[in-house]
């Protein structure tokens, strides 16, 4: 029996996680669900944002479903010493799980094209999966310094680091349209030369059925908004992926539509990309779609249950059309939307 650890967290986290758990229970009644504390609420209850009980619960977990952490900008939590702040709990969690790949689907839902900042004819049918390397590159390498009027950071990758994230991208592509675009800056960076060589070699060795092309990051930044239909799976290193994934996140038109998965060798972490939204917390109006779609990713990538994942994705798409929430210009509250998803799962495809 798979064990799922849920970490509802702060702000709208508990509301959207409750919705996600209701869907998870419906679609995977055999899983064990264990709830634990993280973030500001964990600090209030246990004196630390990532308590020992939470850390221990991860040991035999198959996947982690996270809500959101953190308070408003003027929250007293932000005046605590840094290690006690809610965000530190999140960093400790990410570190404990050691996930090296971040997956973000960017999908324009049918019927919601009008929410996209792109023209409807460009937005229609957009369905991209961005796979970002998460533990290496310029953010993490030890070779860094600021001294007087000189400073440097280092972007470094090794072949095993490139291969493990590329492998994830190819594997995902096999279940999609079978196309991977690897993004680099190989015209000027040696680290990108290695990246390109290793991604290509892995494809030639293990994934001959997947179509691979290589593009420069500056070019992708233009094309992802001017011709998003050209992409299926995009795989890239940490810094490029950080920027491209936030750029692409505006395409669907609401933060409430963006799930994510972080995967490594241990349990995966599944969470909506939006924040704790303190302005609407506790009002019962948060859009739980991103959290529910994160359950879809948990089923697909964490438990390898793609039929169940497809059922969730389909039900969310139907509910979004029939009962859009306020952030989408509709009137549905959290409960109404969640009910619509549950109902849609009961109606045959």
Per CB under 5 A, residues contacting Mg ion are 275-276
> Quick one: 275 or 330, whose CB is closer to Mg ion?
275
Please state, in angstroms and rounded to a whole number, the distance separating the CA atoms of residues 279 and 276: 9
Residues near ligand ATP (CB under 6 A)? 12, 16, 70, 255-256, 274-277, 279-280, 286-287, 290, 327
Q: Shortest Cβ distance from residue 206 to ligand ATP (Å)?
A: 37
Residue nearest to Mg ion (CB): 275
Among Mg ion, ligand ATP, none, residue 37 binds (CB under 5-8 Å by kind): none
Characterise 284 by phi-psi region: left (phi > 0), alpha (psi -120 to 50), beta (else).
Answer: left
Set 60, 143, 227, 246: catalytic member: 246
> Quick one: 242 or 327, whose CB is closer to ligand ATP?
327
Phi, psi of 178 (to 5 degrees): 75, 25
- On whether the CB atoms of residues 301 and 103 are closer than 8 A, the answer is yes
Q: Is 62 a catalytic residue?
A: no
| Beta-carbon contacts of residue 213 (< 8 Å; ≥ 6 apart) | 179, 180, 181, 182
Phi, psi of 312 (to 5 degrees): -65, -45
> Quick one: 87 or 343, whose CB is closer to ligand ATP?
87
Q: Is 327 a catalytic residue?
A: no
- On whether the CB atoms of residues 182 and 214 are closer than 8 A, the answer is yes
> Quick one: 20 or 298, whose CB is closer to ligand ATP?
20
Given the structure tokens 């040696």, which residue do they identify? 190
Please state, in angstroms and rounded to a whole number, the distance separating the CA atoms of residues 332 and 182: 39
> Which residue spans within 10-134 are E strands per DSSP?
32-35, 63-68, 101-107, 127-133
- On whether the CB atoms of residues 337 and 323 are closer than 8 A, the answer is yes
Q: Shortest Cβ distance from residue 288 to ligand ATP (Å)?
A: 7
Please state, in angstroms and rounded to a whole number, the distance separating the CA atoms of residues 83 and 243: 26
Q: Is 30 a catalytic residue?
A: no
Q: Is 204 a catalytic residue?
A: no
Q: Is 141 a catalytic residue?
A: no
Q: Shortest Cβ distance from residue 334 to ligand ATP (Å)?
A: 8
Q: Shortest Cβ distance from residue 276 to Mg ion (Å)?
A: 5
Q: Shortest Cβ distance from residue 177 to ligand ATP (Å)?
A: 28
Set 3, 127, 139, 177: catalytic member: 139
Among ligand ATP, Mg ion, none, residue 279 binds (CB under 5-8 Å by kind): ligand ATP
Catalogue the active-site residues. Answer: 139, 185, 218, 242, 246
């Amino acid at each position: 029996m798979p064990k799922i650890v849920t970490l509802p967290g702060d702000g709208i986290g508990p509301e959207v996680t409750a919705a996600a758990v209701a869907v998870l229970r419906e679609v995977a009644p055999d899983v064990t669900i264990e709830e634990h504390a993280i973030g500001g609420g964990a600090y209030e209850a246990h004196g630390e944002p990532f308590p020992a009980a939470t850390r221990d619960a991860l040991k035999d977990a198959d996947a982690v479903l996270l809500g959101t952490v953190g308070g408003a900008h003027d929250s007293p939590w932000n005046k605590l010493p840094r290690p006690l702040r809610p965000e530190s709990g999140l960093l400790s969690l990410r570190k404990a799980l050691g996930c090296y790949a971040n997956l973000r689907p960017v999908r324009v839902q049918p019927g919601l094209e009008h929410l996209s900042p792109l023209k409807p004819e460009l937005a229609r049918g957009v369905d991209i999966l961005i796979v970002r390397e998460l533990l290496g590159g310029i953010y993490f390498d030890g070779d860094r310094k600021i001294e007087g009027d000189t400073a440097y950071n280092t972007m470094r990758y090794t072949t095993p680091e490139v291969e493990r994230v590329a492998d994830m991208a190819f594997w995902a592509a096999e279940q999609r349209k079978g196309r991977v675009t690897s993004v680099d800056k190989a015209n000027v960076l040696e680290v990108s030369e290695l990246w390109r060589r290793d991604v290509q070699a892995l494809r030639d060795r293990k994934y001959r059925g997947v179509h691979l092309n290589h593009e420069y990051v500056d070019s992708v930044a233009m094309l992802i908004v001017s011709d998003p239909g050209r992409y299926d799976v995009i795989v890239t290193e940490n810094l490029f992926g950080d920027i491209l994934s936030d750029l692409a996140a505006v395409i669907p038109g609401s933060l409430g539509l963006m799930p994510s998965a972080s995967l490594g060798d241990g349990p995966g972490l599944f969470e909506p990309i939006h924040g704790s939204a303190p302005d609407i917390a506790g009002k019962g109006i948060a859009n739980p779609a991103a959290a529910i779609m994160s359950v879809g990713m948990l089923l697909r990538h964490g438990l390898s249950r793609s039929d169940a994942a497809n059922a969730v994705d389909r039900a969310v798409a139907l509910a979004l059309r029939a009962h859009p929430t306020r952030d989408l210009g509709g009137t549905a509250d959290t409960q109404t939307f969640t009910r619509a998803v549950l109902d849609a799962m009961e109606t045959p495809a």
